[in-house]
């Protein structure tokens, strides 16, 4: 087994995990991103309960940003000779992409193209 094989396995796993968390796979939200965001909001709301919902939104946004970071890191890990990666060089891109995705979802909910959280919950009642 060569040194490059473990690097490829790790890089591939990180790309997959990043894709799973990223907004590029929105079907995973119900199973992964929303529960993680809910847990994030729940834990931190112990300190100040009115922050629960804003923290859920922030947690959701962070899971999507983490997805982009992991995808990029995994890809860089796969295709670089020394595994060099600099988060500092790319953080603005991650923040911009995640923010644009969030704004797109808000606009789609605002205009009734996507259902709101209350509509989804009401559908299952």
C-alpha–C-alpha distance, residues 57 and 60, integer Å:
5
Mean pLDDT of the chain: 80
Question: Residue 97's Cα: distance from chain center in Å?
Answer: 11
- Cβ(73)–Cβ(10) under 8 Å? no
Q: What is the pLDDT of residue 18?
A: 92
The residue to which tokens 């500092």 are assigned: 88
- Global pTM reads 0.68
Predicted confidence (pLDDT) per residue in 80-92, tens digit: 765 566 667 777 8
Q: What is the pLDDT of residue 28?
A: 78
Q: What is the pLDDT of residue 120?
A: 62
CA nearest neighbour of 4 among 79, 113, 63: 79
SS3 65: helix
Return the domain boundaries, the chain: 4-124
Tokens at residue 62, please?
């962070």
Tokens at residue 123, please?
């559908």
C-alpha–C-alpha distance, residues 59 and 2, integer Å:
39
Predicted confidence (pLDDT) per residue in 35-90, tens digit: 898 888 889 888 888 888 888 888 888 898 899 888 888 887 777 765 566 667 77
């Amino acid at each position: 087994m060569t040194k490059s094989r473990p690097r490829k396995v790790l890089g591939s796993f990180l790309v997959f995990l990043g894709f799973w968390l990223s907004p590029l796979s929105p079907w995973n939200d119900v199973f992964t991103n929303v529960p993680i965001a809910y847990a994030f909001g729940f834990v931190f709301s112990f300190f100040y309960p009115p922050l629960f919902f804003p923290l859920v939104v922030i947690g959701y946004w962070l899971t999507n940003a983490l997805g982009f970071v992991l995808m990029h890191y995994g890809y860089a890990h796969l295709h670089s000779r020394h595994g060099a990666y600099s988060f500092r060089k790319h953080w603005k891109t991650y923040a911009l992409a995640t923010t644009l995705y969030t704004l797109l979802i808000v606009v789609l909910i605002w205009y009734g193209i996507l259902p709101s959280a209350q509509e989804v919950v009401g559908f299952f009642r």
